[in-house]
Amino acid sequence: MNIHQYDLLVKFSTLRKPFVYFILGGPGSGKGTQCELLSKNLKYVHLSAGQLLRNAIKNNSEHKSTIENCINNGGIVPSHVTINLLDKAIFEDISSDTFLIDGFPRNYENMENWIALMDNKINFKSVIHILCSRTTMIQRITERSKTSGRSDDNIQTLEKRFIRYQNDTYKIIEHYRNKNQLIEINGDNSIEIVQREILESLNQLNNK
Ligand code: C5P
Ligand code: MG
């Protein structure tokens, strides 16, 4: 077997253990924007948990009504649904070894089930938290709501999403901070500055 064949074998086999980063931040903190840029700059694959859930609604998934209910009320979809979508998306995509998972894990239930179901199938790298002021996030979502067509980009749902972020996601962020697996970036800065700071942090992490 030559090196090329070996490479293909590993890509398609259970030996393949992709690298995973989680990107967290409040609504409008720039998770999606930054992940898109990172995927261009580093050839990583960007997977948005929220987008996978929105796609599942469009595709009339069996969980459509559960997902719709959660999204419209700023709630968190039961993790078996989200993890199943992420698992498929990761293992169907062989274009890269590294995945940026945006908007996951949102709470302990997400995190604990991920650890139970996925931890031994992947190589966890780090959490990137984009820390952003509420004023900036409200401004961005208000602007985005003009064109996003998203049922949750309105002030009532936004308030609920802030509560989930503060009450649930923050605990996840602290959990990874205590494990020294957290990169925290100031998300109030411009898109370019935030991107540069994330790239610098990743560089440092990967050259340790
Ligand atoms: O991250 P994003 O803003 O796209 O998420 C939109 C919505 O999708 C969240 O407010 C939540 O209702 C749902 N979601 C979820 N579980 C996740 C990620 C997103 O329930 N892990
Ligand atoms: Mg997003």
Ligand 1 geometric centre to CA of 86 (Å): 13
- Per-residue pLDDT of 118-152, as tens digits, reads 999 999 999 999 999 999 999 999 999 999 999 99
Residue 148 CA, ligand 2 centroid: distance in Å: 11
Q: For atom 6 of ligand 1, which residue has the closest CA?
A: 50
What is the structure's pLDDT at 1?
78
Smallest CA-to-CA distance from 153 within 48, 82, 54 is with 54
- Output the CA–CA distances (angstroms, integers) from residue 155 to 6, 61, 67, 76, 190, in the order listed: 53, 27, 20, 18, 23
- Nearest atom in ligand 1 to the alpha carbon of residue 110 is 21
For the Cβ of 153 lying below 6 angstroms from any atom of ligand 1, the answer is no
Closest by Cα among 101, 107, 162 to 132:
162
Q: How confident is the model at residue 186 (pLDDT cuts 50, 70, 90)?
A: very high
Lowest mean pLDDT among 3-17, 68-82, 90-104: 3-17
pLDDT score, position 15? 72
Q: How far is the CA of 35 from the centre of ligand 2 (A)?
A: 9
In whole angstroms, give the CA distance from residue 66 to residue 76: 10
C-alpha span between 56 and 20 (Å, rounded) = 22
pLDDT tens across 79-94, in order? 999 999 999 999 999 8
Domains of the chain: 17-206 (3.40.50.300)
User: What percentage of the chain carries pLDDT values higher than 90?
Assistant: 91
How far are the Cα atoms of 63, 89, 120, 195 from residue 8, in angstroms, in the given order?
35, 19, 21, 32
pTM score of the predicted model: 0.94
pLDDT at 169 over 80: yes
Q: Which residues pair with 185 in a beta bridge?
A: 130
